[in-house]
Amino acid sequence: MRPYILAETNWKALKDEKFDLAILPWGATEAHNYHLPYATDNIQADYMTAEAARVAWERGGKPIVLPTLPFGVNTGQSDIYLDINLNPSTQLAILTDIVEVLNKQEVYKLLIFNGHGGNNFKPLVRELGYKFPKMFISFCFFPGVLDKDLYFDEKGDHADEMETSLMLHLRPDLVLPKEKWGDGASKKYKIKSFSEGWAWAERKWSEISKDTGVGNPHKATKEKGERFFKDVTLKMGDFIYELCKADTNDLYE
Ligand SMILES: [Zn+2]
């Protein structure tokens, strides 16, 4: 039983406990190329938040990891079989209820750990911060924690070399054999402004990728996954510890 994982701990341990920070991992249920499980984002979020919370806990921080929310925003994949979409407005409703509990029970810090590129928490966090002024709400997205180019050869953003390496490290039993992996080839918009990053429109996933992947996974290895996982969770662990200890009335220098 890990005392910083809510799903594992109990009332005996919690009735007189006080945590500094709640961590909410948020994933998605969606196709990940041919070879990775639909729960890939949830599995990554589960393992990463648990390990980062352990690092912070052992340094003396008091985080509590809430159960992972398994559905994310998949509006661009409505024709991909059993990709389950949760609309942004539903996410706001769920977050509002969770924040209401935390606020009432005086757990005034919340970190949303995002594990899925389609989730966009910035506008939601702004609105919640406005409604719950005592709460300090933040979010992070793990592929941005470190420079991916220092760990992986091929660029990508979905079921790519990074995600395949991570899953080979975390749950190799759920990864199909290498001869079943698609090449993750994807199409870009003909309108170049979208590729330059200053204009944005949602991609229709089934038209940009045959195997649903974006990024070639073929150079993925368990060792690369292990190294990335370790470094990301160490850095996140430091961040979580800092958040736990931070005085939210004295955040700027
Ligand atoms: Zn993913």
Whether pTM > 0.95 for this model: the answer is: yes
Taking the centre of ligand 1 as the mean of its atom positions, its distance from the CA of residue 158, in whole angstroms, is 5
Give the pLDDT score at 56.
Answer: 98
Give the pLDDT score at 118.
Answer: 95
Taking the centre of ligand 1 as the mean of its atom positions, its distance from the CA of residue 91, in whole angstroms, is 18
Taking the centre of ligand 1 as the mean of its atom positions, its distance from the CA of residue 32, in whole angstroms, is 7
Q: How far is residue 114 from each of residues 44, 55, 164, measured CA to CA in Å? A: 10, 19, 18
pLDDT digits (tens, 9 = 90+) for 187-219: 999 999 999 989 999 999 999 999 999 999 999
Give the pLDDT score at 142.
Answer: 93
Q: With a cut of 70, which residues of the chain have pLDDT below it?
A: none
d(CA 107, CA 100): 10
d(CA 85, CA 30): 9
> Which stretches of the chain are DSSP H helices?
11-14, 40-59, 88-104, 122-131, 161-170, 192-195, 205-208, 222-245
Give the pLDDT score at 139.
Answer: 98
Taking the centre of ligand 1 as the mean of its atom positions, its distance from the CA of residue 98, in whole angstroms, is 24
Cβ < 5 A residues, ion ligand 1: 40-41
Give the pLDDT score at 210.
Answer: 96
Taking the centre of ligand 1 as the mean of its atom positions, its distance from the CA of residue 10, in whole angstroms, is 31
Taking the centre of ligand 1 as the mean of its atom positions, its distance from the CA of residue 136, in whole angstroms, is 27
Give the pLDDT score at 252.
Answer: 96
Taking the centre of ligand 1 as the mean of its atom positions, its distance from the CA of residue 2, in whole angstroms, is 26
pLDDT digits (tens, 9 = 90+) for 227-253: 999 999 999 999 999 999 999 999 999
